[in-house]
Amino acid sequence: MDGGTLYGTIHFHNRITMSAASPTFEKFNTLAQQSIASVSKNIIVKKKDAYEVFGKYRILKQEDGFVVYDKDQRVNTFLSSRNALSYCIFEKYFKYEDSKLLERLDGRLQSKLFDIEVANHILTTSQDSFKKFNALARVELYIDETKTIKEQINEVVNKAKYFQQRELDNEVNRHTTKNRR
């Protein structure tokens, strides 16, 4: 290899041989690079503890959740990779109201889970029966609120799945129609 230039011969199934230094190979290589760039805008790749999303976003598993980066800028932290991925889908397709809604719901869920932990701590450590009773009542309320928030998040995530599938279907139809011409 010489500065990114590949020297060698490629043999195809129909006995066509193409030299790496030939203009035909350069065209082939350019077409392959364009295809990869085009496809990367629509794919999600898992690499160890990270997801590469649409060639633009990165989702990293960290101690406090799943952190979304837009290029190298930290955007937000979500409780689950599914919420983080849904956020990226909404952002990709300019559905900013939905991405902001998901951020708010995920933040509310994080807050309620923290409240539950605090109330549980009071239940297990306090000697005061009134505090324990109060904490128990709050835990029950927080659990109900958590269930409601999780249902709302599921609806938003399903909407993201729908947008992603619709856009993939549109992309396939565009390429299919273009290839028929």
Break the chain into its structural domains and give their ranges.
9-40, 81-174
pLDDT tens per residue, range 53-80:
998 999 999 999 999 999 889 999 999 9
The overall average pLDDT reported for the chain is 84
Q: Are 105 and 76 in contact (CB under 8 A)?
A: no
Burial class (CB in 10 A: 0-12, 13-18, 19+), 172: exposed
Instruction: Give the rounded percent of residues in the chain with a pLDDT score beyond 90.
Output: 59
- Across the range 8-30, mean pLDDT stands at 60
| pLDDT beyond 80 at 6 | no
Task: Quickly state the pLDDT bin for 108 (edges 50, 70, 90).
Answer: very high
pLDDT at 25: 73
Cα–Cα distance list, 111 to 120, 140, 142, 145 (Å):
14, 15, 10, 11
pLDDT band per the 50, 70, 90 thresholds, residue 122: very high
Q: Which residues of the chain form beta strands (DSSP E)?
A: 9-11, 17-19, 44-47, 50-53, 57-62, 65-70, 73-78
| Residue type, position 176, single letter | T
Top pLDDT among 43 and 77 is at: 77
Is 60 exceeded by the pLDDT of residue 118?
Answer: yes
